[in-house]
Amino acid sequence: MATCAFLGLGVMGSPMARHLSQKGHDVTVWNRSTKKVAAWEKSGGKGKAAASAREAVSDADFVMFCLGDDPDVEAVYADIESDLKRGAILIDHTTGSAALARKLYDRRKARAGNFLDAPVSGGQAGAENGQLTVMVGGDPDAFASAEPVMRAYSKQITLIGPSGQGQLAKSVNQICIAGVVQGVAEGLHFARKNGLDEAKVIEAISAGAAQSWQMQNRWKTMVDGKFDFGFAVDWMRKDLRIALDAARISGASTPLTALVDQFYADVQAEGHGRWDTSSLISRLNRKS
């Protein structure tokens, strides 16, 4: 069993750290808000709570981050850098930029440690059920050491390539999701405007080429106008910003992603940034 520190007990990080502790690993947790630490313990988390991030990582062989954005990762890393054990592997589950991943990889290697950028997909339900998909960038030897530990909360873990490529793969994931959600939203909106029974339409098309996870799991709540669960629009816009920035750097053409990003901006402007990503349909229904 591994000695781990888990920093960041949000919607995703809390259940991930809980699974890690329940699988027998020695886990120390830290979060800026002590209320989230108490909630983690109440939810079944088994481990120690540290008063500071520096204290949490001092004995850890594996240090997991699950934070908000690049500035959060940079700030926490700067705080703990001198306290990380020689040889410790930092696993960053935050969705962030490939540029920061490469920077932190270089800094860890300079201190005889290692770094994996390892963003996750699967949403809150995937985290709660220990069924996340992890896309990893970094060295094969570090991946081989960390992969059995990450199995505690994951169903699929893939080493994509060198440092930064895990984050780029997560951008691919978000680009694909954005297009699919908009397509499902437009299809359901079209069905309603043409007087079709949405349930019968979904029954007819969901077993064919049109089927998707979004269609199977979100169509009913989209039709009912319920958007109070799942991955929030605010976080999706953060992820799409990262993807669009990477597209500009690489010269990739992502016109649909840029358009859907603006549609999400419309949802935010209506005060619904905490709605889940399927709320794109609300924009269509409102505009009609």
DSSP H or E segment with residue 250: helix 233-250
As a whole number, mean pLDDT of residues 136-157 equals: 98
Q: Are residues 7 and 143 in the same domain?
A: yes
- Percent share of the chain, pLDDT over 90: 97
Residue 264 pLDDT > 90: yes
Q: How confident is the model at residue 229 (pLDDT cuts 50, 70, 90)?
A: confident
Residue ranges in 58-97 assigned as alpha helix (H): 70-80
Whether 113 and 184 share a structural domain: no
In angstroms, rounded to a whole number, what is the distance separating the alpha carbons of residues 159 and 131?
A: 17
Distance CA 288, CA 165 (A): 41
Confidence of residue 137 (pLDDT cuts 50, 70, 90): very high
The phi and psi torsions of 155 (rounded to 5 degrees) equal -105, -25
128 and 219 inside one domain: no
The predicted structure's pLDDT at residue 275: 97
pTM of the model: 0.95
Domain boundary among 124, 139, 161: 161
d(CA 8, CA 30): 6
Residues 132 and 175 in one domain: no
Let me know whether 189 and 127 are in one domain. Answer: no
From 94, 129, 161, give the residue that closes a domain.
161
The confidence score (pLDDT) of residue 142 equals: 98
Domain finish residue from 121, 140, 161: 161
Domain co-membership, 213 together with 95:
no
pLDDT score at 185: 98
Confidence of residue 13 (pLDDT cuts 50, 70, 90): very high
Q: Nearest 5 degrees, angle CA 181-CA 125-CA 177?
A: 20
Are residue 121 and residue 256 in the same domain, yes or no? Answer: no
| Catalytic residue annotation | 170
Share of the chain above pLDDT 70, in %: 100
Where residue 199 sits, what CATH number does that domain have?
A: 1.10.1040.10
Looking at residue 172, its amino acid is V
The one-letter code for the residue type at 182 is Q
pLDDT of 187 > 90? The answer is: yes
Same domain, 55 and 105: yes
Average pLDDT over residues 171-192: 98
Distance CA 258, CA 101 (A): 24
Res 230 pLDDT > 90: no
> Do 191 and 104 fall within a single domain?
no
Residues 6+ apart with CB under 8 A from 118: 91, 92, 93, 134, 135, 136, 137, 138, 146, 150, 166
**178 CB-near residues (< 8 Å, 6+ apart):** 236, 240, 256, 257, 260, 261, 264, 277
For residue 287, the model assigns a pLDDT of: 81
pLDDT of residue 266 exceeding 90, the answer is yes
Task: Please give the residue range of the domain that contains residue 270.
Answer: 168-287
CA distance 144 to 116: 11
190 and 206 housed in the same domain: yes
| CATH number of the domain to which 74 belongs | 3.40.50.720
Do 20 and 101 belong together in one domain?
yes
Q: Which of 250, 277, 71 is nearest to 174 (CA)?
A: 277
CB 20 within 8 A of CB 149: yes
pLDDT digits (tens, 9 = 90+) for 66-109: 999 999 999 999 999 999 999 999 999 999 999 999 999 999 99
Interval 21-71: pLDDT, tens: 999 999 999 999 999 999 999 999 999 999 999 999 999 999 999 999 999
Total structural domains in the chain?
2
Does 238 share its domain with 254? yes
